[in-house]
């Protein structure tokens, strides 16, 4: 069996730096678009789309955190800020008094719908129109494979909220 390389080569560093630079520029452009078109941040958009796509347009706080790969405290702080803006609401769980549901409000639904059309156009302009269909298939395979090894495994006994 071949030994696994441990040192990162100069070509790998160059590729990594290109990836990081691309991601930062893309994130900045998408953040600006969301602010301009819907007055929401990228983090708010991530929460809103997760809730909008969820059954009954709500998720348990722990599920929302797992979906976004966020720590419990980040979910809590983000939801608190969004609650003050009227974009989401917390509800106690009928079956588990310790549990909390996070639901999207009508204002949150309007914000995500307002943002999504232009967000899609921006993604098309900055990403999808830049890569070929064959490259997109390759990128999808790479993204899925990397996510599979980088995704944290839930700890046993971890609570969902």
**Is residue 9 a part of any domain in this protein?**
no
Q: Quick check: 159 pLDDT over 50? A: no
Q: What pLDDT was estimated at residue 8?
A: 92
**Is residue 111 a part of any domain in this protein?**
yes
Number of domains in the chain: 1
**Which residue range(s) make up the domain with 77?**
36-117
Q: Which residue's structure tokens are 């993604």?
A: 123
Torsion of CA 80, 44, 150, 16, to 10 degrees: -130
pLDDT in tens, 66-105: 999 999 999 999 999 999 999 999 988 777 666 789 999 9
pTM over 0.75, yes/no: yes
**Is residue 143 a part of any domain in this protein?**
no
Check which CATH number belongs to the domain holding 92 and give it. 1.10.10.10
**Is residue 52 a part of any domain in this protein?**
yes
The mean predicted confidence, pLDDT, of the chain is 89
- Local structure of 21: helix, strand or coil: helix
**Is residue 161 a part of any domain in this protein?**
no
């Amino acid at each position: 069996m071949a030994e696994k390389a441990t040192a990162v080569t100069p070509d790998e560093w160059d590729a990594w730096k290109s990836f990081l630079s691309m991601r930062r520029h893309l994130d900045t452009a998408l953040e600006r678009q969301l602010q301009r078109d819907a007055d929401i941040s990228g983090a708010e958009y991530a929460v809103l789309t997760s809730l909008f796509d969820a059954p009954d347009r709500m998720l348990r706080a722990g599920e929302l955190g797992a979906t976004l790969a966020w720590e419990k405290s980040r979910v809590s702080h983000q939801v608190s800020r969004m609650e003050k803006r009227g974009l989401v609401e917390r509800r106690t769980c009928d079956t588990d008094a310790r549990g909390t549901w996070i639901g999207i409000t009508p204002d949150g639904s309007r914000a995500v719908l307002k943002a999504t059309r232009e967000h899609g156009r921006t993604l098309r302009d900055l990403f999808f129109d830049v890569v070929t269909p064959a490259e997109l298939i390759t990128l999808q395979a790479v993204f899925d494979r990397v996510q599979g090894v980088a995704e944290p495994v839930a700890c046993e006994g971890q609570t969902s909220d």
